[in-house]
Amino acid sequence: MSDYDLLLLGAGHAHLGVLRRWALVERPPGRIALLSPGPQAWYSGMLPGLLAGRHAAADCQVELLALCRAAKVELIISPVQSLSAAQQQVQLADGRSLKARWLSLNVGAQIATPPQQGDAMQLLAVKPFADFLAGWQQWQAVPQPLAILGGGAAGVELALALAGQVPQLALFCAGHLLDGLSSGLRLRALGHLRQRGVWVREDCPISRIENDCLLSGDEPVWRGRRLLLASGAKAFAWPAHSGLGCDEQGFVLVAPTLQSYTHPTIFAAGDCASLAGARKSGVYAVRQGPVLAANLGAALRGLPLKRYRPQRHSLALLATGDGGALLDWYGHSAGGQLYGRWKDWLDKGFIRRHSL
Ligand SMILES: Cc1cc2nc3c(=O)[nH]c(=O)nc-3n(C[C@H](O)[C@H](O)[C@H](O)COP(=O)(O)OP(=O)(O)OC[C@H]3O[C@@H](n4cnc5c(N)ncnc54)[C@H](O)[C@@H]3O)c2cc1C
């Protein structure tokens, strides 16, 4: 068993920010390691552009070894399998056990799957991205009609990126398209989707899959053999089994300092954390990075911690698959190629900032 001062679990957006800050400013004292399933961290904001053929895979990833070297942090390539919050101990998939005085979780979330009966329909979840891209490459070789589950920003961006690459495309949303964003943005997105031949079904929650059929309640709503899952974030099971206090959906309950309420020596940020006012989106995870970096440093040095305050509004920029983007800002919407160029600039800037 190896002992560390701090283990960073997952190379999510917040941890990337932590590593960058430590590389550029000052790294706190102690033995620190990052645990990641692979040597790269995918940047979700560029995934739709990658699928639309506008980016190369290498442009959408952060190389973790270089970033960790710059931050003087060990990189351990293996996914976390389980965690004991009481013992501050992490079990890795490769069999290793690691202990640390402080832990920080930024492992994101997985995608919910409706119950399935029969195996006539193939399912492909958009996360983890590496598995998704490998699966999509196989599907792309023999295009077939496709349904996408999830009418949030991810589902809309994927539908617009993939329209034209498959013979028929349907998009299913449990509620309204882009719930929580402005009605202007929803109308613009609906216009783009219709123009690109995507069949959109709003207020159509998919309750189960029976053979080659999607059912909403007991009503059959779509028949086909391929379903892409891009619906809301579902918590991984292991944090809830670790003894950490979690909300009813299994996300780690954290205080504004990003410390677990039940185990203050464990921090959590991004989609895997549950904090009032913080949405499950990359934008919020990125904003948590500086506070998390400061607090992990303060924890290691025995200093007081800062509080993270979620921003009330956040900018949404949705790629339309043709180089353009739709913007939502304080309830106002707009769209066009100019916003697409702005989104590209912001996205590439994120990768550049973390390529040290
Ligand atoms: C197609 C798509 C497009 C999106 N576009 C946007 C956008 O434009 N803007 C936006 O704000 N949000 C966007 N989102 C949402 C966004 O991806 C998530 O909200 C965001 O990634 C959450 O960040 P995070 O830091 O919590 O975790 P993530 O970015 O998901 O990172 C989690 C990391 O933890 C690692 N990990 C997972 N399990 C383990 C484990 N067991 N052990 C160790 N490491 C593990 C993963 O490999 C990953 O590197 C999009 C989502 C999708 C699917």
pLDDT tens column, 171-216: 999 999 999 899 999 999 999 999 999 999 999 999 999 999 999 9
CB 327, CB 334: distance < 8 Å: yes
pLDDT of residue 180: 87
ipTM: 0.97
Name all residues whose Cβ lies below 6 A of ligand 1.
Answer: 9-14, 35-37, 41, 44-45, 47-48, 79-80, 106-108, 126-128, 153-154, 157-158, 230, 270-272, 280-283, 285
pLDDT of residue 232: 81
Residue among 167, 132, 127 nearest 147 (CA): 167
pLDDT of residue 312: 85
344 CA distance to ligand 1 centroid (A)?
Answer: 18
Percent of the chain with pLDDT over 90: 96
pLDDT (tens digit per residue) in 70-117 = 999 999 999 999 999 999 999 999 999 999 999 999 999 999 999 999
Cα-trace Rg, the chain: 21
pLDDT of residue 168: 96
pLDDT of residue 2: 63
Closest ligand 1 atom to Cα of 238? 41
Q: In angstroms, rounded to a whole number, what is the distance separating the alpha carbons of residues 78 and 10?
A: 10
pLDDT of residue 261: 97
Ligand 1 probe mutation, 13, 18, 20, 44, most atoms within 8 A of CB:
44
How is the beta sheet containing 325-329 ordered, strand by strand? Answer: 316-319, 325-329, 332-336
Q: In angstroms, rounded to a whole number, what is the distance separating the alpha carbons of residues 136 and 143?
A: 10
All domains of the chain, ordered by start, with CATH?
Answer: 2-37+78-109+235-301 (3.50.50.60), 111-232 (3.50.50.60)
pLDDT of residue 1: 59
Which residue in this structure is represented by tokens 């399998």?
A: 81
Listed in sequence order, the residues at least 6 apart from 274 whose beta carbon sits closer than 8 Å to its beta carbon are: 246, 247, 249, 251, 252, 253, 254
pLDDT (tens digit per residue) in 16-32 = 999 999 999 989 999 99
How many residues make up the chain in this entry?
356
